[in-house]
Structure 1
Amino acid sequence: MSIRSVAENVYAKRLRRSLTHIPNHVAIIQDGNRRYARARGKDTGYGHRLGADTTERVLDWMGELGIRHVTFFAFSTENFRRPEEEKEELHQLFMEKFSALLTDERVSRHEINVSVIGDRSLLDEELKKTIQDVEAATKNYSRYFIHIALAYGGRNEIVTTAKKIVTAVQSGKISADQITPELVTENMYQGVAMPPVDLIIRTANDRRTSNFLPWMANGNEAAVCFCTPTWPEFRYVDMLRALRIYDERMRETLIT
């Protein structure tokens, strides 16, 4: 192990001990896969695969850090405008990774509930079936929760939910007076139970939240961390630094 690695491990342990408040729900915008690949003269698939490896490492970090909910922004509705070759690469990667969750011992050992939010009508039948299999296999787990935002757009989610509620009012199932923030939340995310977002992390130093979980994050005034590493380069110590931002905000809130 290099001197740098030893120093980083010591720093990470010290940083972990300093954290008093751990967020219940962290939402991550996994940015920079393509940038990482281009900087190394590789195709986009190379970056996406390394990024998927980082996502898998988070499965281990959740248990160690005590974060119960993590939502990954895997593919937005806007991403459908990307080149066909890249979309096919991502489709194959999603198929591979979702299928692997069915046999990943970490899922059962940590009792991880896996769910997908987004417009499934935009996905092909093969991928939808694999997602349904994973959700069915993990539906009774309730220790940790992984939410994958796939074919997801925040404004689209709000519009779809509004239409659903309007239809319920028109059919007489509910009255307009019964519409509350809690009712809106219950009708979002295909019935997936998600707590408010406490912390948003975006990698690759891009300072925007890109239409990601506006109701659950902005509405909860979530802390935000924009960090420099691309997603393939994101390390445990980077996660700790992001958690420190949340921790510092919570400390300030208690003081005020």
Structure 2
Amino acid sequence: MAAHTQAPEPLPRHVAIVMDGNGRWAAKRGRPRAFGHRAGVEAVRRAVRAAGELGLTHLTLFGFSTENWRRPAEEIDALFDLLRRFVQADLDKLDAEGVRVRILGRRDNLNDDIQQIVENAEAQTRHNDRFHLAIAFNYGSRDELVRAARKMAAAAAAGELDPANLDEAGFGRFLDTADLPDVDLVIRTSGEQRTSNFLLWQAAYAEYVFIETLWPDFDKSILADCLAQYASRDRRFGAVKLNDPV
């Protein structure tokens, strides 16, 4: 891809990234997977900074999936420790820069200290609106949809919701991403080309860009190139334009 120094128009309002390739990046250097995850955190910092510099307002990063519990215990522990360190080291700075932090995903099976970290991060930055950063952690889209359906059923049983009047916007209010715009662009690193149970509802009409870059090597120029690909596409949302051939 050609290098871009600034983001072309039109910009997506909401970009989501599947951060893939930390383990392979570490393996290429003869290091353990945890080494790659630490490098991946630095890439997160670069991505958040670059997104703001390029004019984006909403960024969602896929950090830990509901399926990742199948990984070795030591790797899971390392990932949770990185979350603790990231919040401790970066939260005050993000808050000062007007970044609102949201954590998407299931919480009831997380350790108490992680739940507290998540709640504190959201509470501290709730007043910010310059830039919206969502971290999908212990997240799976099917799990999110099931949890949303349960909440919706409970509201109906309590007489707070008439199912006959439910529409897509109403259902969306039960999702983890309530009040966030739909995803316009999904980027996946490391050459893999699948959705991996990520934001299936929210990305229903998103454009996808798959790149070979391993996540720890992700930077502003690569993000700008992905935005250029997005800007070059003709988004139709199921419609047909007047000049299109029949």
Could you tell me which residue of structure 1 aligns to residue 101 of structure 2?
Answer: 114
The 4+ residue runs of structure 1 with deviation greater than 6 A are 251-255
- Which residue of 182, 204, 211 corresponds with 2:190? 204
Q: CA deviation at 1:77?
A: 0.2
Structure 1: unaligned runs, 5 residues or longer = 1-7
Could you tell me which residue of structure 2 aligns to residue 97 of structure 1?
Answer: 86
Pair 1:222-2:206 in alignment: yes
SS at match of 1:121: coil
1:113–1:146 Cα contact (<8 Å) kept: yes
Give the Cα–Cα distance (whole angstroms) in 1 for the partners of residues 207 and 91 of structure 2. Answer: 33
Bigger relative CO (Cα 8 Å, ≥ 6 apart) = 2
Give the Cα–Cα distance (whole angstroms) in 1 for the partners of residues 92 and 197 of structure 2. Answer: 33
Give the Cα–Cα distance (whole angstroms) in 1 for the partners of residues 84 and 159 of structure 2. Answer: 41
SS at match of 1:102: helix
The Cα RMSD (Å) is 1.9
1:117–1:192 Cα contact (<8 Å) kept: no
Q: CA deviation at 1:216?
A: 0.5
Deviations 1:36-77 (A, max 9, x none): 111111001110010110100122112211110000000000
Q: Which amino acid aligns with 2:179?
A: A
Q: CA deviation at 1:251?
A: 7.3
Relative to structure 1, the CA distance from residue 90 to residue 11 in structure 2 (aligned partners, 3 Å threshold; closer, same or farther) is: closer
- Which residue of 122, 127, 150 corresponds with 1:140? 127
Taking structure 2 as the reference length, what is the TM-score of the superposition?
0.92
SS at match of 1:122: coil
Pair 1:88-2:80 in alignment: no
**Which aligned pairs between 1:1-256 and structure 2 lie closer than 5 A?**
11-13=3-5, 16=6, 19-104=8-93, 106-109=94-97, 111-189=98-176, 192-218=178-204, 221-250=205-234
Q: Which amino acid aligns with 1:118?
A: G
Taking structure 1 as the reference length, what is the TM-score of the superposition?
0.88
Task: Give the paired residue count.
Answer: 240
Bigger share in helix: 1
Q: Which amino acid aligns with 1:195?
A: P
Identity %: 34
